[in-house]
Chains A and B, each alone.
Chain A
Amino acid sequence: MSARSRLRTGVILFGLLHVGVVCAGFFAPYDPAAQDREHPYAPPMRPHFVDVNGRVHLRPFFYAQTLRVGSYDEYEENRASIIPVKFFVRGARYHLLGALPLRTHLFGGDLPLYLLGSDAYGRDLFSRVLFGAQVSLLAGLIGASLTLAIGLCIGAAAGFWGGWRDEALMRVAELFMALPWIYLLFAMRAFLPLAVPPLQAFVLVVVVFAAVGWARPARMVRGIVISAKERDFVRAARGFGASGGYLLRRHILPETAGVVLTQVAILGPQFVLAEMTLSFLGLGMPEPVPSWGNMLASLQHYNVLVSYWWMYLPVVIMVPFFLGYLLLASLLQENSGAAKIEVARSGV
């Protein structure tokens, strides 16, 4: 497969996953916070096409699950009760793309359907994974963009003007890299008022990620800027009297595109993982708002680990996302402007 078609496959796969996440309300059958107290820790349901009588259904159906008498987390399939899957059903209200209020869901049933099972409160894991991805991936994206914006400005300034400015900025960057950021976050959470609305707490945490994480990209950008400003075409432009701002904008910053794009792809998952770490420590998104981090937090309980295997499913679902990001990163690296110039030059 050529690089181009691989890139295309990666982008399509990745795009599809993200469409699912962005339109979580539509694809998820339930409100991610809705509790179904009759079905705690329900295992995932399997879709069927052939019923017990051997009759083939064109429309997939599920068998209802009921708690075994006297048990609180063991279910049995009720073969007498068939739940046909219905499409485009009305259900819990949600806001598509955060704005459009809708009630139509892709699928649903007359009785609860748990594709990936349910958690301790009987909340649908499938819905929670989709909505949780919104939170976690958004955190990754915002965090990465902020980090790079800061890193780019500081790195470019340090590399382009050099001298004492370079010295000062790079020492500050080293200081930031040496910071024990996890303790910084602990401290920051303690300073916030007791009940910070989830979104606000989350944005604050992302801002801190960015504030702390800019140093590494800044150093990379600085390196590229230093080498780029000595290139012949830059010198030539300078000789023709181009101003510093023009040189940066027109000739030098474009050189850093490869690094920046690659860094977006790498930092994205890194921040998703960081958000997970925070939720794991109880610093991230508060219940009942789902995030991949707080979904994994329940796995630290021994009984969950050994009794309910489907609680691991969010992990399985995260893998293609992270692989997608990394695939994208390596492809962007191959296709970046700087690499092309190198290729062109060696070709001459």
Chain B
Amino acid sequence: MAILACVLRIHSAAAFAARAATAHANDEPLRLAGESGHAGGRIVIALRSEPKTLNPLTATDGTSREVISTMQADLVHINRATQLTEPALAKSWKISADGLQYTLTLRQGLKFSDGHPVDIDDVLFTFRVYLDEGVHASQRDLLIVGGKPIVVRKVDAQTVQFVMPKPYGVAERLFDSLEILPRHLLEPAYKEGKLAQAGAMGTAPDQWAGLGAFRLKEYVAGQRLVLERNPYYWKTDEQGNRLPYLDEIVFLFVPSADAQVLRFQSGETDLISRLGAENFAVLSRQARDSTMADAGPGLEYNFLFFNLNELGDKAPAELARKQSWFRSEKFRLAVSLAIDREAILRLVYQGRGAALWGPVTPGNARWANAALRYPGRSLDKSRQLLAEAGFRLATGESAQPRLVDADGRPVEFSIVTSSSNADRAKMAALVEDDLKQLGMRVQVVPLEMRSLIDRVTQTKEYDACVLGIASFDADPNSDINVWLSSGGMHLWNPAQKHAATEWEAEIDRLMEQQLTATTSVQRKKLYDRVQEILVERQPMIFLASPDILVGAKKNIGNFHPAVLEPYVLWNVEQLYLRNGAENARR
């Protein structure tokens, strides 16, 4: 056995020697701790939709971002497991005492995946592009502080300085996912004003490069995207072997969740993420050659909200009447207290999740306000609140007493939910039954996702809605346009010109303050207050948060799923195949 292990090691060392690109003595690769693996092999993963683009500037959908994260790199990176920042392309950084100047020093000897060397001009180019209004980069908002853009200055060949107009609360976390772009490939397109079209899915592999662990190899529309190992990658393992271990990653496009489960079960794919609890249970029961893991509560929060838009004279009379109930905080709190979140946990998530009372999930312990606890379901309290708000029960000829408002009109409304999301449809059905016990008549209306979003954000023709949001980062800023009254994702009343209520104005103030607060203790205090207001006023009735459920074939080494996206691919450079024979077969 020992001999075999020895042979294997020699074999893999030889492989590394063959694969490593010529390295210089002054290279400064990032050495990663952890289990060392074997070189070679490929893994196959299913994506729920086809990525729209490989261009970090225009990517807004989850799958594009997931693919790009394996092909690009940032200056400072948030470790998805520890949720702390760590050096990436910048080997170090310094923040001035007044919090206004960030000085970052670039790693030596960096090369893009096409072998072109990286210098400070690439960094300057990148930020010029991000900040250019004409490019419409989704990252631009992050680089505007208090209405003014961040200024980027070259200090020397390895050093760059960022000058903030105001202290910026997120500090170096700002740089996470701001991918450094290859100037030599993109500058011509930028000058022609065609940057947004660059990196479209049909791009030839030699026309695209990045600083990530993998680079483009092949794309077959509607079928797969194949990435190959970047031989110039700037990370090594503990023994100094250049990462990544894998030769190839294949992304298959498999649109349905059930089909993904089948593919994983049949061994066609090696990794699976975003599993529903029920499919997870099935796979756990049947899995012999795979590791199924519950990474713990994630950052997704599911909630019910009412239509609180101010529609003025446009509003149909019926909706206006319903809105008079929805605007009552006692009504919303009564609904919230009547919902059996424990049942949602059991029936929807099979216990793999957490009941929510505020917006911050247990997966985000750093920012959750610990004082806000789910008080448990209380129908008595609900009834009392409804009575205080002028509602009463009318016992008609039908078996069940019905809740009526002060004018004697029955409380009836509909809840829209996405027909493609089985979990949320189930939640809505449970809520419907919970509210029946208060005498409310609720009808669940499953809608296709696009028409649902259209109703909520554009036409505003709905009563109530069950939706979910998965934050991409634990930091409160990642959801800032949900909480700001001017935000497009301020779902219950989006894109307000002026805050409609006193408490929304207060949330606006607090969120602005935390943006520029310098210490995280201060920020936490401000964000705690935001959570408190949200729980007091219940504009969103938070329901539950699912665990991050993932799986991998047993022969995949360094499989350490995280609760932040990309759940299983965040350490893609360290993933390896344990079984040498398996590699050969593939």
Which residues of chain A from 170 to 206 have a CB within 8 Å of any chain B CB? 190, 194-195, 197-198
CA of A203 to CA of B281 in the docked complex: distance in angstroms?
40
Cβ-defined contact, B350 with A73, below 8 A:
yes
Specify which chain B residues have a CB less than 8 angstroms from the CB of A306 in the assembled complex: 282
A72 to chain B, nearest CB (A): 4
Minimal beta-carbon separation of B434 from chain A (angstroms): 9
The stretch that binds A, out of B149-157, B217-225, B442-450, B494-502, is B442-450
Q: Roughly how many angstroms separate A194 CA and B461 CA in the complex, as a whole number? A: 8
Number of A-B contacts (CB under 8 A): 74
Docked complex: A276-323 residues within 8 A CB-CB of B: 282, 286-288, 300-304, 306-307
Closest to B258 in A: A302
What does DSSP make chain A's interface, helix, strand, loop or mixed? loop
State whether the Cβ of B171 lies closer than 8 Å to any Cβ in chain A.
no
Question: What is the 8 Å Cβ interface bit string for chain B, positions 230-265, against chain A (1 contact, 0 not)?
Answer: 000000000000000000000000000010011000
Is A93 in contact with chain B by the CB < 8 A criterion? yes
Residue B519 interfacial (CB < 8 Å): no
The reply on A234 being an interface residue by CB < 8 A is no
Instruction: For A190, list chain B residues within 8 Å (CB).
Output: 451
Q: Decide if A121 touches B461 in the complex (CB within 8 Å).
A: no
Do B443 and A195 touch across chains, with their CB atoms under 8 A apart?
Answer: yes
Report the minimal beta-carbon distance from B555 to chain A, rounded to whole angstroms: 24
Q: Is B278 an interface residue (CB 8 A)?
A: yes
Chain B proximity of A121: nearest CB distance (Å): 6
Task: Please tell me if A226 contacts chain B, counting CB pairs below 8 Å.
Answer: no
Task: Name the distance in Å between A304's Cβ and chain B's nearest Cβ.
Answer: 8
Bound-state Cα–Cα, A300 to B258, Å: 9
In the complex the two chains form, what is the Cα distance from A282 to B430 in whole Å?
A: 18
| B524 on interface, CB distance cutoff 8 Å | no
Question: A72, B461: Cβ atoms under 8 Å?
Answer: no
Question: When chains A and B are docked, how far (Å) is the Cα of A6 from the Cα of B369?
Answer: 74
By a CB distance below 8 angstroms, the chain A residues around B416 are 194
Measured between beta carbons, the chain A residues less than 8 angstroms from B430 are 35, 37, 121
Does chain B have a CB within 8 A of A43?
no
Q: A121-B429, A194-B416 are in contact. Are A282 and B446 (CB under 8 A)?
A: yes
Query: Number of contact residues on A: which range applies?
Result: 20 to 34
CB-CB < 8 A to A282: which residues of B?
419, 446
Q: In the complex, which residues of chain A have a beta carbon less than 8 angstroms from the beta carbon of B346?
A: 37, 40, 72
A37 touches B343 (CB 8 A): yes
- Closest A residue to B262 by CB, please name it: A302
Q: How far is the CA of A197 from the CA of B282 in the complex (A)?
A: 36
Please state if A93 and B258 are interface contacts (CB–CB under 8 Å): no
Return the chain A residue nearest B346 by Cβ. Answer: A72
> Which positions 427-481 of chain B face chain A at CB distance < 8 Å?
429-430, 432-433, 443-446, 451, 455, 461-463
Contacts of A287 in B (CB 8 A): 429, 432, 444
Contact of A301 among B258, B414, B461 (CB under 8 A): B258
Q: Which residue on chain A has the smallest CB distance to residue B283?
A: A303
Interface set of A (CB-CB < 8 Å, partner B): 33, 35, 37, 40, 72-73, 93, 101, 120-122, 190, 194-195, 197-198, 282, 286-288, 300-304, 306-307
A-B contact pairs, 28 of them (CB 8 A): A35-B433, A37-B343, A37-B430, A72-B281, A72-B346, A72-B350, A101-B399, A120-B426, A121-B347, A121-B426, A190-B451, A194-B445, A194-B461, A195-B443, A195-B463, A282-B419, A288-B429, A288-B432, A301-B258, A301-B422, A302-B262, A302-B282, A303-B276, A303-B278, A303-B281, A304-B278, A307-B278, A307-B281
